[in-house]
């Protein structure tokens, strides 16, 4: 007789496939954040890895971002270790030069006749240059977009078939709102991270005293799964937040709290009290199965009756410091989860309760995309749930 634990168990999340460009299905058919705009100056390249693929980013002669395969055609050296000049990228090994299209435009070893200009086939034959920049192919180039202080890259096969536009940062450029970014590297996969970012029960333990303390309060909620989104609405107007909660709600106004997942990799958490509140928007870029860069935009608006604009300016360093401490607590717990996931067979086989219903919805959407997004996808659904914090 077989023991129940001997039954085959299927992991809820296939982190290996999710982060592999060849096996991630339709997950690659979206825009992913490659870097902050401020991380990409005009005169220096930047290395990034997305879906296990090495990219080099730099700004072309018009200042627009370019993303190429980070591997020189000549001897495969990392181009991200090279130089940018006049909107072109030079290899650190033999100095081969690429333009923003990925074409070779200069090979120093061939001498000055071809230096600084892209030769066509006729010019190559006339000058007797072998080999010449014109017939050496070009690097793979990936579409880029820049908006709201972020540079996005697209790794799918056809950018015209992208499943969505790049996500817009909440309240970016809106009067009265302050927006800043945090970039954080997590030792875990995208699905586990987005579940963590829109999970209330863990805050009483991982962020005890910093964000919320255990109160044994009943929290009725509604989970809505619709059109690639999972939205959790918490019907608890008197949520007892610590830390920033007291700063944003000195008048004790009712709380409007929602968490939302947007396929394939975005979360948005909103806490609103009247005219003040904050939104935490995180976009996850997969590096590898358990290695992810998360670009978090913190958007906040302080109560309008605070005494003067100087208060907001004075509080900004504190808000930045506070949010960095909280996210580092998530970094640690996500590494703790990853250690369990990778400790022998059975990792990733999850048990769940009613409090995990929205996580199951997230997993359903991401699994559907990973498997190629055939058919209509998970059906729309709306359910009431109750949990305690």
126 against 135, higher pLDDT: 135
> Which pLDDT band, with edges at 50, 70 and 90, does 187 fall under?
very high
Report the pLDDT value the prediction gives residue 385, as an integer from 0 to 100.
92
- Could you report the per-residue pLDDT of 306-355, keeping only the tens digit for each? 554 455 566 778 888 988 999 999 999 999 999 999 887 767 789 988 88
Q: Say yes or no: do domains 15-144 and 171-343+354-388 share a fold.
A: no
Report the pLDDT value the prediction gives residue 218, as an integer from 0 to 100.
85
Mean pLDDT confidence for 107-134:
56
The CATH code that applies to domain 15-144 is 2.102.10.10
Mean pLDDT confidence for 247-254:
73
Mean pLDDT confidence for 155-184:
95
Nearest-5° Cα angle at 96, 94 to 98: 155
Question: pLDDT exceeding 90 applies to what percent of the chain?
Answer: 64
**CATH code matching the domain that covers 171-343+354-388, chosen among 3.40.50.2000, 3.20.20.70, 3.20.20.10, 3.90.380.10:** 3.90.380.10
> Which pLDDT band, with edges at 50, 70 and 90, does 155 fall under?
very high
- Could you report the per-residue pLDDT of 64-95, keeping only the tens digit for each? 999 999 999 999 999 999 999 999 999 999 99
Please state the domain extents for the chain: 15-144, 171-343+354-388
């Amino acid at each position: 007789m077989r023991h129940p634990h001997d039954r085959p168990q299927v992991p809820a999340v296939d982190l290996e496939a999710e982060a592999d460009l060849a096996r991630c299905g339709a997950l690659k058919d979206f825009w992913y954040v490659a870097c902050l705009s401020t991380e990409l100056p005009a005169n220096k390249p930047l290395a990034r890895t997305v879906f296990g693929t090495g990219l080099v980013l730099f700004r072309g002669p018009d200042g627009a971002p370019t993303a190429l395969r980070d591997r020189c055609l000549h001897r495969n050296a990392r181009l991200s270790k090279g130089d940018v000049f006049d909107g072109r990228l030079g290899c650190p090994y033999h100095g081969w030069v690429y333009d923003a299209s990925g074409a070779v435009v200069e090979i120093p070893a061939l001498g000055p006749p071809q230096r600084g200009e892209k030769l066509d086939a006729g010019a190559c034959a006339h000058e007797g240059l072998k080999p010449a920049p014109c017939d050496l192919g070009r690097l793979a180039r990936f579409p880029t977009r820049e908006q709201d202080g972020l540079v996005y890259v697209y790794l799918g096969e056809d950018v015209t078939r992208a499943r969505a536009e790049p996500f817009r940062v909440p309240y970016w450029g809106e009067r009265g709102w302050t927006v800043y970014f945090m970039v954080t590297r997590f030792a875990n996969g995208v699905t586990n991270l987005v579940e963590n970012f829109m999970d209330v029960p863990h805050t009483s333990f991982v962020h005890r005293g910093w964000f919320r303390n255990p109160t044994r309060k009943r929290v009725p909620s509604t989970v809505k799964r619709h059109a690639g989104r999972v939205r959790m609405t918490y019907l608890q107007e008197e949520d007892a937040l610590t830390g920033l909660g007291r700063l944003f709600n000195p008048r004790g106004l009712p709380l409007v709290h929602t968490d939302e997942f947007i396929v394939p990799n975005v979360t948005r958490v909103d806490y609103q009290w009247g005219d003040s509140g904050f939104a935490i928007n995180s976009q996850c870029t997969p590096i590898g199965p358990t290695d992810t860069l998360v670009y978090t935009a913190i958007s906040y608006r302080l109560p309008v009756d605070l005494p003067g604009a100087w208060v907001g300016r004075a509080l900004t360093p504190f808000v930045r410091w506070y949010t960095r401490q909280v996210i580092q607590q998530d970094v640690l717990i996500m590494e703790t989860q990853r250690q369990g996931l990778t400790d022998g067979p059975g990792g990733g086989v999850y048990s769940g309760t009613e409090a995990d219903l929205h996580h199951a919805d997230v997993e359903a959407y991401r699994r559907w995309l990973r498997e190629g997004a055939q058919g209509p996808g998970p059906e729309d659904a709306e359910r009431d749930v109750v949990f305690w914090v």
